[in-house]
Structure 1
Amino acid sequence: MSRFRPGRFIGVLVGTVAILAVGVYGPLTLLGPLPSATATLLPPPAPAAIVSPPALPTAGTSAVTALRVDESGSIVAPTIPAAPIAAAGSTTPLPLAAIAKVITALVAFDAKPLTVGETGPAVTLTAADYQSYLDYTARGSRAVTVFQGEVWSEQELLQAMLLGSSNNHADTIARWAFGSVDAYVEAANAWLTKQGFDHTSVVDATGLHDASAGTGTDLAALAGLAAGNPVIAEILASPASALADRRGIDNTTAYLPELGITGISRSYTDAAGVCFLFTARIVDGDKTFAFAGAIVGEPDYNTLDADLAALMTSATDGVTELPLLKQGDAYVRFNTTWGATSSGTVGYSRNTYAWQASAPVKPSIDLDPVTTGRAGTVVGHVTVDGTAGEASSTLKLDRTIPDPGPGWRLLHPVPLINALLDSRG
């Protein structure tokens, strides 16, 4: 019968624990997950182009907003009001004069759609339409001659209102499309709210009432919406003489085309001053930058001329080829607990022909967890946004982050155990 030997038992126990420890510790440290690298965001690179803000008048209210141009050169109507490149003057709504007629046209299209190349339904003018003509003529306001019983197409009504700034035609369109001017006003304000023009409202179809008012930011976006409407664009591109078999109409919209400007609405009232809604283009070879603008509350046309010339000079100076994101620029630094480092750098350059009117806002960075990886591995994305537009690119490691090797793993169990626990939630 064998005797119990304490020394032997302790030796076997120690040996067993040692074997188990080696069997667990070795695989844990050598095969377990590594701790993620610490990511530190770096200061974004300085803008490659000098910031060159638009020259806008400080009186009244004004703004400019960028537009998109398709392959044919036509302006594409924005789906939502774009943030302005720049705005100046009052942030309180000011009387907008005949710009209200552009609103009338856009709201009427909702009720009475019209497509390019069609004249639309025939509209027989009523006694109320003729009386409007007499009333506006007596007041010295813009009016185009009409008679009761005449038949005008929808396209002709719009031509008279937009090109000739005819107040009586604005009322006629409102009555025809909505039943009354009051019903039109209700529909127009609902439309403005729906479009996001929260600081613009109307009380009439003509803009002669001082309470029809808006801000430069809203009205510049409105100009882009109007310019992107193919029917309005077609009307603006046609001479006033295109209004066949009707009385002569002076085109009130065309203004300073030699500067690259296309007028949408130009008007004056005592309360509003000179008001101008327009688009403009800067062209460099096969590159085009288009923008919409609104200038409201100018004291006279000489001042408007000087301010438009200054604006277009600033556009010529400010619009250029801009590298929004430059390949190789670092936006984040990775540091590991075993001493390896790498940077997340822009994978692909993103350039645009645009106006750097202000410094880009802080970039948005989305990162994946990083432990090891070869140089060139995609580790996230970076997005920049500003007056020059939005651009995104991948972020890639600029150098390899290697595995620390068995020696480091065996000597650093704590971070490896923490990484294992983190990996299991």
Structure 2
Amino acid sequence: MAGESPDRSKQRESSAEPTSGSANPVPEARKEADDPRLAVARASAKAPASDTATKILSVPTTDAPTDTDPDTEDDARLRAAVAAWVTDADEKPEMAAAEAEEAVAEAERAEAEEASEAAEEPSDEATEPKDEDEDEAETDAEEAAEGEAEAEEAPEPEDADGEAPEGETEAEQAPEPEAADGKAPEGEAADGKASEGEAEAEQEAPEPEAADGEEDPQGPPAPDDETRTGGAGGNDDPAEGEAEAEQKPLTPEATGVDQPTAVFKAVRPRRDVDQPTTMLKLGDTAPKPDPERTSKFVALKPADPPPPAQQERTTQQPLPPKPPLDLLAELTNTPPPPQTPLRTAARRIKIWTPLVLLLAIVFAVVQSLRPLPAPELTLTAKDSHSFAGDLQGLPWPQEGQAAMDVQGIGTFGSSGEQKPVPIASVAKVMTAYLILRDHPLKSGEQGPKIKIDQAAEEQSHAEGESTVQVTAGDEITQREALQAILIASANNVARLTARWDAGTEKAFVAKMNAAAEDLGMTNTTYTDPSGLNDTTVSTAVDQVKLAKEAMKYPVFREVSAMMEYYDYKGKKWPNWNQLVGKNDVVGIKTGTTTSARGNLVFAAKKEVGGETHTIVGAVLRQPEGGYDNTILQGALSAGDKLIRAAQDRLESVTILKKGEVVGYVDDGLGGRTPVVVTEDVTAVGWPGLEVELNFASDDLPHSAKAGTKVGTLTVGDGGTAGAVKVPVALQSDLVEPGWTDKLTRIS
């Protein structure tokens, strides 16, 4: 069969169906005009040469053909034609898979019929001479070609999946009879001759499209692949193949697979069936499945090189960096010493010791250069002192309310219910305080001029009020205005100074209430600068707070202690507070109205232990009394009794001796230097009073000599007047902290 060309239908079947050694579909079957093998096959058929395939199957006993055998030339021509046909197949479209499937089914059915007929003939027919086999094969081929042409012209029914009819499937599955004595039947020879008729008939029939589910056709075999396009025995020389076929029995093991027939007549492989071997019908030995396929697809052209990213990387890779000691050993040609725990510890010591020393030096420098903490003066003596006895027998008023303190020492207490009541002209104490606070004057200073307006002149003649005669356009000094307010209790001048200070009386009243809030006068409300309105209310405790604050101003103390004054017109105005000038009374202000009754805020002095102390008190809403039984004398009488009782009860007690340690100076790093009082410390008070002791430090140095004054010890409430103040000094030298203290400090 190496020199015989299969028919056209077999070509399309094998080209449309994948072969056993190819992974891709073969090109589409060509028409007669495009397939050069048809012309070669026809020329070979007309030549007197014998059929190579039949010759092989019949196993003749003649000697091997000579080198000039025409079959060899035909085989070479066929191989060249196949190679040209395969090369040209890449440029044309592939044939539909359904047409190839139908052609294969038809060929299988024809083979089954021929095999049945061959099985009935005597076995000796298989050994008939070669010429008779060829004649019979040609006759049978012509008849089979005419029958298949008529069969292909009629449309074949297909099932739902586009596969061959059931009859064809049964024909493919039916067992094929084998020739006796292991020889091929005569019908097989006719199969090759009938291919021309079948090819012509199939060329005229319409080509059905590939149905769903059919496999894609495989690519053509390589022209130089001996396993697919070579001779029956896989040899390139057809003469040698025929000689081997004549000398050996034609069994599947000896002959193998006729690959050219498998290419041209390739059907879908069935399980446990070798299609090329079945087509050849070799002997009576049933085909056996190959344990492993040995055929392979050889490409017609070299495969494309892989992309650069997938190319194999070089096996020479850079070496990892060596340790520093190994590199040093290579440079010095000295091998590194072996690693031991001792060498490892020594190396670590050599590395970390300089770092630790450097850190220690940096730490020492930083600690020594850090700023030293500021020294502090701390009191070690008792922070308070209590006077022995109880305070009894103070003459508190029977009506109204009263309160009394000693400035800078403490309070005697209060009497009556401390609820807001009208205070009348006592309100002028807040007016004078604000004028001096916002326009302070030095002792003996007159202050700026205040121009008298028309309202002040008109109010000079108001009935039922205490006023001073002034004329619009005239000017008075600030000091004279304060005298008119505190001594003559002039309402018109109080309103004049309010307008001068704040622009309007309403604005000045707002300042009065703000100041009262600042001083802690929680039960006080001001509605006018003079206190004439009954809506201006306060308590005795609140007025004592205000009086103690006002007595801090020297001009206020000077004016309130005057018994009389002369105005700018030369008129004398006596002080309404008739206690001033008697029994060391130095002020402050009276206030009386029918609704407010008698009110008095007073101040008196008492010298105790070489120190002068000021007693400040207030009595409100006092009834008529005194020598003339009036509300003014009632208030003055109640105030005088309290002043005298306080003066009698004040006493001085020494609580600390000179040189006694009362505290120390702490340098902030643990060093302490003791301090002592430079003189005896005396406390002024009355029985039952508890006074406080505290330090007021000066600017403390980091180093000083012994005896250096470093602060003041204060006994009392710390007021500017009346509190006892004693200097304290260092008992020993104050030295700066040493280097060790600086180095070991943490905070």
TM-score (norm 2): 0.37
Q: In 1, Cα distance between the equivalents of 2:558 and 2:725?
A: 32
Return the alpha-carbon distance in structure 1 between the equivalents of residues 573 and 637 of structure 2. Answer: 27
Aligned to 2:685: 355
Tell me by how many angstroms 1:124 deviates.
Answer: 1.8
Question: Sequence identity of aligned pairs in percent?
Answer: 26
Please say if 1:206 is aligned against 2:546: no
Decide which of 636, 643, 661 is 1:312's aligned counterpart: 643
8 A contact 2:683–2:716 mirrored in 1:
no
Secondary structure, aligned partner of 2:436: helix
Does 2:451 match 1:121? no
SS in 2 for 1:241: strand
Equivalent of 1:63, from 386, 398, 403? 403
Quote the residue 2:499 is aligned against.
175
Deviations 1:321-356, CA, capped at 9 Å, x for gaps: 2355799xxxxxxxxxxxxxxxxxxx9898534232
Equivalent residue for 2:458, pick from 131, 137, 160: 131
Structure 1 residues 125 and 63: alpha-carbon distance in aligned structure 2, compared to 1, 3 A threshold: same
Higher helix share: 2
Answer whether contact 2:388 2:688 (CA < 8 A) is retained: no
Residue 210 of structure 1 deviates from its aligned partner by 1.4
Give the aligned residue type for 2:507: A
CA distance in 1, matches of 2:568, 2:535: 35
CA contact (8 A) 2:387 2:685 kept: no
SS in 2 for 1:123: strand
Partner of 2:508: 184
Give the distance between the partners of 1:117 and 1:391, measured in 2 at CA.
27
Structure 1 or 2, whichever has the larger Rg, is 2
The 5-angstrom pairing of residues 213-362 of structure 1 reads 213-255=537-579, 257-284=581-608, 286-302=610-626, 303-323=634-654, 351-356=681-686, 358-360=688-690
The CA distance in 1 between the partners of 2:534 and 2:397, in whole Å, is 21
Equivalent-residue separation in structure 2 for 1:284 and 1:263 (angstroms) = 20
Q: 1:241 to 1:261 in 2, by over 3 A?
A: closer
CA RMSD after TM alignment: 4.1
Give the 3-state SS of the residue equivalent to 2:424 in structure 1. coil
Which structure 2 residue ranges, 5 or more long, are not aligned? 1-382, 627-633, 659-675, 695-713, 729-747
Please report how far the alpha carbon of residue 391 of structure 1 lies from its aligned counterpart in structure 2 after TM superposition: 10
**2:413 aligned with 1:86, yes or no?**
yes
Q: Partner letter of residue 314 of structure 1? A: A
Contact 2:483 2:565 survives alignment (8 Å) = no
Alpha-carbon distance between aligned partners in 1 of 2:405 and 2:622, rounded to the nearest angstrom: 19
Distance 1:45 1:124 in 2: 52
Aligned residue identity for 1:310: K
Give aligned pairs, total: 311
Contact 2:562/2:580, CA 8 A, preserved across alignment? no
1:396-421 per-position Cα deviation (integer Å, ceiling 9, x unaligned): xxxxxxxxxxxxxxxxxxxxxxxxxx
Letter in 2 for 1:225: E
Which structure ranks higher in relative contact order (CA pairs < 8 Å, sequence separation ≥ 6)? 1
Check conservation: 1:221, 1:292, Cα contact below 8 A: no
Cα distance change on mapping 1:305 and 1:147 into 2, 3 Å? closer
Task: Report deviation, 1:209.
Answer: 1.2
TM-score where L is the length of structure 1: 0.62
Q: Which moved more, 1:251-260 or 1:99-108?
A: 251-260
**Deviation of residue 118 (structure 1)?**
2.7
Amino acid at match of 1:220: V
Q: How does 1:386-425 map to 2 (within 5 A)?
A: none
Given that residues 390 and 687 in structure 2 are in contact (C-alpha distance below 8 angstroms), is that contact kept between their aligned partners in structure 1? yes
State the shift of 1:262 in Å. Answer: 1.8
Aligned counterparts of 2:550 and 2:715: Cα–Cα separation in 1? 29
- Give the 3 Å change call, closer, same or farther, for CA 240–317 of structure 1 in structure 2: closer
TM superposition shift of 1:275: 1.1
What amino acid sits opposite 2:686 in the alignment?
A: Q
Partner Cα distance (1:230, 1:66) in 2: 18
Once residues 158 and 47 of structure 1 are traced to their aligned partners in structure 2, the CA distance between those partners, rounded to angstroms, is 40
| Equivalent-residue separation in structure 2 for 1:281 and 1:189 (angstroms) | 30
Higher strand share: 1
Contact 2:543 2:601 in 1 (8 A): yes
User: Counterpart of 2:573 in 1: which secondary structure?
Assistant: coil
Distance 2:406 2:625 in 1: 25
Letter of the 2:684 counterpart: A
Structure 1 segments of 4+ aligned residues over 6 angstroms from their partners: 347-350, 361-364, 383-392
1:361–1:279 Cα change, 3 Å: closer
Q: 1:176 to 1:357 in 2, by over 3 A?
A: farther
Q: 1:284 to 1:324 in 2, by over 3 A?
A: closer
Whether the 8 Å contact between 1:289 and 1:319 is mirrored in structure 2 is no
